[in-house]
Amino acid sequence: MLLRAFVVLVSSWAAAAHGAPACSQIVVAASATAPSEMRAWLLRIHDAASRHNFQGTFVVSGGGNVASARIAHFCDGPNQYERIESLDGRQRRVYRHNDVVHTIWPANHVAMIEQRGMLSSFPALLQAGDDGIADWYEVRAEGSERVAGHEANVLAIRARAGLRYGYRLWADRASGLLLRAEVVGERGDILETSAFSDVVIGIRPQPESVLNEMRRLDGYRVVRPVLTPTRLEAEGWAMRQLAPGFRPVSCVSRQIEAAGDTGGEGAAPPVIQSIYSDGLTYVSVFIEPFRAARHAKPMFASIGATSTLSQRHGDWWVTIIGDTPPATLKIFAAALERRKP
Amino acid sequence: MAIDGFDNISKERLSALADGELDPAASTASCAAWSQDPQLRADWHAWHLIGDVLRSEDLATDPRHDRAFCARLRSRLNSEPVVLAPAALAGPFGSRLERPSHRGRWTAAGAVAAGFVLVVGTFAVVRPGESPPAQIARNDTAIAPSVTSAPAPEVSTQPVAVVADSKVIRDAQLERYLEAHKQFAGTSALGVPSAFLRSATVDSAAR
Q: Is the pLDDT assigned to residue B70 strictly greater than 50? A: yes
Q: Could you tell me if B119 and B141 lie in one domain?
A: yes
Residue B201 contacts A where some CB pair is shorter than 8 Å: yes
Residues B99 and B133 in one domain: yes
Percent of chain A with pLDDT over 90: 38
For B17, the 3-state DSSP assignment is helix
* Same domain membership, residue B165 and residue B68: yes
Q: Is the pLDDT of residue A252 over 50?
A: yes
Same domain, B24 and B107: no
Q: Write out chain B residues lying below 8 Å of A122, CB-based.
A: 186-189, 191-192
The confidence score (pLDDT) of residue A281 equals 85
Whether residues B81 and B134 share a domain: the answer is: yes
B61–A contact, CB cutoff 8 A: no
- Complex prediction ipTM: 0.77
pLDDT digits (tens, 9 = 90+) for A43-63: 888 788 778 899 999 888 887
Task: List CB contacts of B26: < 8 A, sequence separation 6 or more.
Answer: B13, B16, B17
Per residue in A7-37, pLDDT (tens digit) is 222 233 333 333 333 333 333 334 455 667 7
**Residue B153 near chain A (CB below 8 Å):** no
Q: Cβ separation of B165 and A84 shorter than 8 Å? A: no
Domain of B51, in residue numbers: 1-60
Q: Are residues B8 and B45 in the same domain?
A: yes
Distance from CA of A119 to the nearest CA of B (A): 4
Distance CA A231, CA A229 (A): 7
What pLDDT sits at residue B152?
Answer: 36
Decide which of B195 and A135 is more confident. Answer: A135
Judged against a pLDDT cut of 80, whether residue A75 lies above it is answered with yes
Is B91 near chain A, with CB under 8 Å? yes
7-36 of A, contacting B, C-beta below 8 A? none
CATH domain A225-338 topology: Phosphorylase Kinase; domain 1 (3.30.200)
Question: Cα–chain-centroid distance for residue A291?
Answer: 31
Q: Quick check: B188 contacting A, CB < 8 Å?
A: yes
> Of residues B167 and B149, which shows the higher confidence score?
B167
pTM assigned to the model = 0.62
B158 pLDDT more than 70: no
Instruction: Grade residue A196 by pLDDT with cuts at 50, 70 and 90.
Output: very high
Q: What does the alpha-carbon distance between residue B141 and residue B66 come to, in Å, rounded to a whole number?
A: 9
Q: Around Cβ A252, how many Cβ atoms within 10 Å?
A: 20
Note whether A181 contacts B: Cβ–Cβ < 8 A. yes
Contact criterion met (CB below 8 Å) for B194 and A199:
no
Contacts of B165 in chain A (CB under 8 A): 63-65, 303
* Same domain, residue pair B69 and B163: yes
SS (H, E, C) B43-109: HHHHHHHHHHHHHCHHHCCCHHHHHHHHHHHHHHHHHCCEECCCCCCCCHHHHHHCCHHHHHHHHHH
Cα separation, B111 vs B115, in Å, equals: 6
Identify the CATH number of the domain defined by range A30-224.
2.50.20.10
Query: Does B78 share its domain with B150?
Result: yes
Q: B73 and B111 in one domain? A: yes
Asked whether residue B102 falls in the same domain as residue B161, the answer is: yes
Per CB-CB distance under 8 Å, the chain A contacts of B183 are: 114, 116, 225
Indicate the domain borders of chain A.
30-224, 225-338
**Residues B164, B68: one domain?**
yes
The predicted pLDDT at position A136 comes to: 86
